[in-house]
């Protein structure tokens, strides 16, 4: 029975599934952050509001990178 189970592969598959789930969740979070900050920026206008937009998009780019890495892990 043990001969048929490759634990290294199973562990890797679990890691990869977990990785892609986290990457998608992070992507959704970064989109929510951008919309949430847009409301904040419109309510309180300060000199450094643009920074939050920049950071929001940095998060989005990072989430895309995470998703790409997670997909490559599967291939």
Partner 1 sequence: MSIQLEKKNMFLNSFCQMPEVGLANQFQDEKFFLLLRAHPVTQLFWIFNTVALIIIVFISELFVGQFINPLQLFYFRLFAFCFTFSYALINFTSWFFNVGLISNFRVLDLDFIPLNYRNITETKIFNVEDITSESKGPFASLFHYGDIYVQTAGAKGNIEFHNVPEPNKAVKIINSLVKENKD
47 binds partner 1 (CB under 8 A): yes
Report the SS3 class of residue 30: helix
CA-based nearest residue to 24, from 71, 73, 65, 63: 63
24 binds partner 1 (CB under 8 A): no
- CB of 35 vs partner 1, minimal distance in Å: 9
Within 13 Å, how many C-alpha atoms sit on residue 66's CB side? 20
- CB of 60 vs partner 1, minimal distance in Å: 11
Among 32, 50, 53, 57, binds partner 1 (CB under 8 A): 32
């Amino acid at each position: 029975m043990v001969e048929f189970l490759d634990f290294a592969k199973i562990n890797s598959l679990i890691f990869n599934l977990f990785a892609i789930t986290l990457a998608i969740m992070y992507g959704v979070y970064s989109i929510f952050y951008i919309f949430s900050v847009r409301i904040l920026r419109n309510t309180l206008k300060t000199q450094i509001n643009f920074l939050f937009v920049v950071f929001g998009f940095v998060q989005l780019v990072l989430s895309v990178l995470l998703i790409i890495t997670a997909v490559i892990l599967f291939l």
